[in-house]
Amino acid sequence: MKRPRILLLVPAADDSNWYPWLAAKLDAAKCKVVLRCAMTPLAALRDECDRDTIVLGHRSGAGLALRLTEQAQVLGLILVAPYLAGPPRCTVGSVHSHLHDDSDAFQYTKVRRNCGWILHLGSPDDLYTPTPAQIALAQTLHSDFYFLPGRAQYTTIEAHDLWAVLAAKLPPL
């Protein structure tokens, strides 16, 4: 079986978080990792996706991951501490992208249809996305939701929880 490619969408093109650590883990698992900033145009990202791609979005990169998977069929989608809206708009009934205006809601049905599976890692101590909005997003997407205290926005140097759930989704070597 072909090894999946991981398209990692991050808030900024830096390596101050767990990105290099995860890339090393994935490299050891024989998976190619492509790192892109959340400001990368959708058209460019669509060309990098196919049914062997796992799209992983962190914070604002999760919003881009949702937009991308509205249009592209992928193996799986992982949202890590998704930041989709500012605190005033982030309610249970209104989960919108910060990348677009309020009239441009996510097309969650398309996202679900285009993803073989969806994982969502959140935390009750996330300062930017309130608990009700995280739960609403997980329920709307029918995702496997890991709601782990003490993770905030998942900005540590290593992300063992993320690796554990991602590694479980990788096909055997």
pLDDT digits (tens, 9 = 90+) for 35-82: 999 888 999 999 999 999 999 999 999 999 999 999 999 999 999 999
CATH topology of domain 5-169: Rossmann fold (3.40.50)
- Using an 8 Å Cβ cutoff, are 15 and 61 in contact? no
Q: How confident is the model at residue 167, as a pLDDT?
A: 97
pLDDT at 21 over 90: yes
**Do the strands 32-37 and 144-147 form a parallel or antiparallel pair, or are they unpaired?**
unpaired
Q: How confident is the model at residue 91 (pLDDT cuts 50, 70, 90)?
A: very low
* Residue 31 tokens, joined: 């998976």
User: What is the pTM assigned to this prediction?
Assistant: 0.88
Looking at per-residue pLDDT, the higher value among 104 and 127 belongs to 127
- Using an 8 Å Cβ cutoff, are 45 and 65 in contact? no
pLDDT at 147 over 60: yes
Q: Which amino acid is at 172?
A: P
* Residue 76 tokens, joined: 């799986």
Identify the CA nearest to 138 among candidates 166, 155, 118: 118
pLDDT at 148 over 60: yes
Instruction: Give, for 6, the enclosing helix (H) or strand (E).
Output: strand 5-10
Write down the residue that tokens 């049914």 correspond to: 51
